[in-house]
Amino acid sequence: MEERKKINRDFKQLSVWQDAISLYVLSSKMLSGFSFEFLEISLGSCGDFHSSYYSFFKADQISKDEFESLDKLHY
């Protein structure tokens, strides 16, 4: 426990890090019924992730509100 106190964790204060965590939480809740392998690969690339949730939206697998929430946070 004492060793962890010495590790620099200032990155957690960066808004980009906090946004990434928020995006992960939101997307994992919305897309929990989808193939984990597909999502894991998609989350590896920003462009691929956008393509994933866009295709889910076009296939009526997520709502417009869900799409907008993901898209707003993603960009």
Tokens 């897309």, residue?
31
Angstrom distance (rounded) from CA 30 to CA 22: 12
Q: What is the pLDDT of residue 14?
A: 83
Q: What is the pLDDT of residue 38?
A: 59
Residue pLDDT, tens place only, 29-55: 877 776 666 556 655 666 677 888 888
Q: What is the pLDDT of residue 31?
A: 74
Which residues are CB-contacts of 30 (< 8 A; sequence separation ≥ 6)?
62, 66, 69, 70
Q: Tell me the whole-structure pTM to 2 decimals.
A: 0.51
Residue pLDDT, tens place only, 9-27: 677 788 877 887 788 788 7
Per-domain residue ranges for the chain?
2-74
Query: Of 58, 60, 56, which is closest to residue 27 (Cα–Cα)?
Result: 56
Centre a 10 Å sphere on the Cβ of residue 53 and count the other Cβ atoms it contains: 23
